[in-house]
A and B are shown apart, each in its own frame.
Chain A
Amino acid sequence: MALKHQGIHRLGYVRLALADPRLLRARAFYCEQFGLLESRRGPGRLYLRCWHEPFAYSLVLEESTDNRLVEIGFQVRDDADLARLAGLVERTGVAVERSDAGAELESLGTSIAFTIPGGPLLRLYADMAQPGYVTGYDSPDWVTPRPLRGTPAPFFLNHVGFTAPDPQAAVTFLRQVLGFVVSERIDSADGTLLSALLFRMSKEVGGQELAVFPGPAGRLHHIAFTKEDPNDILLAGMYLREAGADIDRYGPTRQPYGKTFSLHCFDPFGARLELCAGGRVTEVHSEFEPVVWDEAQLGKALSWYDRDLQTAFLEPSLG
C-alpha cells in the first residue's frame, strides 16, 4: 500500500435554509455586502463561493419557511473513501443515506450523508465541479477581483461551528470514525468537555474545520471565512459597518482559542459569521497534542483584548 492521503481531506461547503422568498435579501447581503461570488442559481437555491476557491460553491442557501443549518459538506479523495467511511459510520449504528450524483445538490458527485451524534448532518463526496479560479490559471494576478473590492471578499471557507448537547460524543465520533484531530479543547470545571476545535486539513496555519460548542443538537454556531491578515479584518469591519451589518460586541479581536485574529458579525437571518486570519500551526499526525483551556479562562480564550466573557457568544445562531 502506497503512502497516500486518504479519507476526508477538505471542508467543502455549508448549506443553510433561509426564510427568504426568492433569496433576494440573502443575495444582497452575501454578494453585494459580504463579497462572495454567485456561482449559480438553482430552483430555490443560491450557490456561492469565495474568489480564491476553484470549486462550484462553498455556501448553499435555499428557500425555506425557517432559518437553520441543513448540512456541512466534506470532500474525500475517491469513491473508495466513500464506501469505506460509509461502512465505518454504519458500524457505529448511525444510518447512512446514499445519493446519486446531482440528486441532492447541483455540481455534486455521488454522496453519503449521516447525522453525527447530537450534531448536524454531514455529507461526504469525492467530486464537485470546478468552474475554476476566477483569476485564471495562466500567470494570474492573485488579486481580489475588481467587482468585489470594497467588501470583505474572503479567500476561502475556513471552518463551521455547531452546537451539540454532548460535545464529547460528537468529538469522539469525529475523531474515531472520520479521522479528525482535536487542535484545541475547553474543559469544564468538572472535567467534561465543553468545546473543541477539530481539523483534517494540513494548512500552513489553522487547526479547525469544525468547532463544537455546547447547545441544542445540530444548530449553527458560526461560519468562518479566511482573510489574509489582521489588517484585512480591520478593513473588512469598516466595509461591513458601512453596509449596516450587525457586528458582534467583541469587535475585531485576537481570539486565543484557535489563535486567530477575528471579527464576528450576523447575516440578516441571524447566522453568525466570522472573518479570521491566522490560526495555530497544526499537523494531521498521531502524536499531535491539543491546546487545553480551562473553563475559568473562557473570557481570555474568546477575546484576548476584551477578556470579559460574553455568554451570548456561546449561544447558537440562525433560527
Chain B
Amino acid sequence: MAVSRIGYVSLFVTDLTAARRHYVEVVGLCETDRDAGGRLYLQAADNQDHHCLILTAAPHAGIDHVAFKVGEVQDLAEAQAAVQARGVTVRQVPAGDVLGAGAAIAFSLPSGQEMRLLHHLDKIGYATGMRNPNPVPPRGKPGARSTHLDHLLLAGERPADTAQFLIDVLDFNLSEQVVAPDGSVIAAFTTCGHTMHDLAIAPGPNGHLHHIAFGLESRSDVIGAVDIMKEAGTKMMEYGPTRHGVSGVTTIYFFDPAGNRNEVYNGAYQAGGVPGLIPPIVWQAQEFPRGAFYYESVVPESFFAEVT
C-alpha cells in the first residue's frame, strides 16, 4: 500500500503546563497519555489513534518530528528502501520510543526536519466511542470543536526539494503551488491522499515549523473557535477569521504559548489521490497575497518571518 495519513506531530514547548492549557482549553484536544520523560500526548475527538500531538518541554519552541503512517506493516521496509535509494540515511526507531507507537523509520527531509514513518499507533477509539456513538463532542469538553490534526506547513530554504522528495519517494501528490516569475517554486502543497495538503512547505530557515492545522466541521465552528481564543487571551495573527485563496477554506491562525503557530480551518477539497493525475493549481507570486488571505489580500511580514 502506501502512506495513509499524517499520524502525529511532536512539538517543543517552553512551558508544558501553559501549552497543555492551550491545546486542551483552546484547541479542544484531550490529553490521552503522559510518559516518564514528562512528554504529554493529546488527540482530537474524531481520530481513533492514541495521539496526534506530543508536547515536550524544551528551552525553545519548534518541531521535534512529524510522523506519517503507512497502510501495511510491510510498507515500512519498502519506504526504507525508497528513502535510502535517494541517498538519505534512515534510522530505526524502536516501538515504544513514543507511547502508543510501533516501530518507525526516521530520516531528514531535504529541509532538515525529521520525518518518521510508522505503521502502528495504539487505538483509543473516537472520543464518543466506537459503538452507537453520538455525533457531537462529549458534554463538557472545553475548547474549539477540532475534529483531527489535518496538516502541517514546514519552512525550508529550498521548498521545491522537499516537495519533490515527497512526490518521488513517498508517492505524494502536488495539489497547488506558488511560483516565482522565473518559474521556481516558492511554496508547495502536497498530499498523500485526496486532501488538499497533508504537508506543505514554504520559504524559511531549514528545520523550522510554520504551523500545524486542525480541522473543524463548519465555518461557524471557526468563528466559535475565534470567540474562545479571544476570551482566553490567545495570541492571534492580525488577520482572521479569513479565507485562504489557496484551497478556498475558512481559517484562523494563532499561536500556542511557546510561539508555535496553529491553525483551525473548515473547507471541502478533493485532490487527485495519486501524483500527476490532476495538474497542480499554480499561484503566481504577485497573486500570493490573495492566495494567502483572500479577503485582505495582503501578507503581513510576520507571516513568513515567524517560524519556530
Partners in one complex: yes
Interface centre among B5, B132, B247 (most CB of A within 10 A): B132
Who on chain B is nearest to A301 by CB? B132
A3–B270 CB distance below 8 A? no
Contact with A along B42-79 (1 / 0, CB 8 A): 00001110000000000000000000011111010011
**Chain B 120-144 against A: per-residue CB contact (8 Å), 1 yes, 0 no?**
1001011000111111100000000
B116 contacts chain A at the CB level, 8 A cutoff = no
Q: Give the residues in chain A near B134, CB-CB below 8 Å.
A: 256, 304
Cβ-based interface call for B240 (8 A):
no
- Contact assessment for A286 and B71 in the assembled complex, using a CB-CB cutoff below 8 Å: yes
Residues in A whose Cβ lies below 8 Å from that of B171: 2-5
Tell me whether A284 is interfacial, beta carbon within 8 Å. yes
Does A280 reach chain B (CB closer than 8 Å)? yes
Pair A228/B267 contact, Cβ less than 8 Å: yes
Main secondary structure of the interface of A (DSSP, over half): loop
Q: B269-290 CB contact bits vs A (8 Å, 1 = yes)?
A: 1101110001111111001001
B245–A141 touching, CB < 8 Å: yes
> Once the chains are docked, how many angstroms separate the CA of A41 from the CA of B290?
36
Is the pair A280, B46 in contact by a Cβ cutoff of 8 Å? yes
Which of A16-24, A95-103, A197-205, A306-314 faces chain B?
Answer: A197-205
Q: Contact flags (1/0) for A219-263 with B, using CB distance below 8 Å?
A: 000000011111100000000000000000000001110010100
CA distance A137 to B287 in the complex (A): 13
Q: A203 and B193: CB pair below 8 A? A: yes
Is A190 at the interface (CB under 8 A from chain B)? no
Closest to A154 in B: B268
CA A304 – CA B132 in complex, angstroms? 11
A204 to B135: give the CA distance in the assembly, Å: 17
Chain A interface size band reads 35 or more
Q: Is B150 an interface residue (CB 8 A)?
A: yes
B82 at the interface (CB under 8 A from A): yes
In the complex, chain B residues whose CB is within 8 Å of the CB of A139: 245, 282-284, 287, 290-291
Q: Smallest distance from the beta carbon of B188 to chain A beta carbons, Å?
A: 15
Q: Does B237 contact A (CB under 8 A)?
A: no
| Cβ 8 A contact of A1, one of B78, B126, B132, B248 | B78
How long is the Cα–Cα vector from A4 to B4 in the complex, in angstroms?
A: 10
Chain B residues closer than 8 Å to A226, beta-carbon distance:
268, 270
User: Which residue of A has the minimal Cβ distance to B168?
Assistant: A2
Tell me whether A205 and B218 are in contact in the complex, defined as CB-CB below 8 angstroms, given that A285-B4, A289-B123, A297-B132 are known contacts.
no
Q: Which of A247-291 contact B (CB under 8 A)?
A: 254-256, 259, 261, 277-278, 280-281, 283-291
Name the residue on A nearest B2 (C-beta): A5
Provide the residues of chain B in CB contact with A54, threshold 8 Å: 278
**A205 is contacted by which of B72, B82, B136, B215 (Cβ under 8 Å)?**
B215
A254 to B284, CA, bound (A): 40
Q: Which residue of B lies closest to A7 (CB)?
A: B1
B220 in contact (CB, < 8 A): yes
Chain B residues with Cβ under 8 A from A143's Cβ? 248
**A293 contacts B by Cβ under 8 Å:** yes
Contacts of B267 in A (CB 8 A): 228
Assembly CA distance A288 to B121 (angstroms): 10
B226 within 8 A of A: no
Given that A130-B278, A143-B248, A283-B4 are contacting pairs, would A155 and B270 also be in contact in the complex, using a CB cutoff of 8 Å? yes
B99 within 8 A of A: no
Whether, in the assembled complex, A140 has its beta carbon less than 8 Å from a beta carbon of chain B, the answer is: yes
The list of the 8 closest CB pairs from A to B, nearest first, reads A202-B193, A142-B248, A139-B287, A229-B218, A256-B135, A281-B46, A9-B273, A5-B2
A sample of 4 more A-B contacts (CB under 8 A), given A156-B268, A229-B268, A231-B218, is A202-B193, A205-B217, A256-B135, A287-B123
Q: List 24 A–B pairs whose Cβ atoms lie within 8 Å, in order of A's numbering.
A: A1-B78, A3-B78, A3-B79, A53-B270, A137-B279, A137-B280, A138-B282, A142-B247, A155-B269, A203-B270, A205-B147, A205-B217, A229-B217, A229-B218, A230-B218, A230-B220, A231-B218, A255-B135, A256-B135, A285-B71, A289-B123, A291-B126, A291-B130, A293-B132
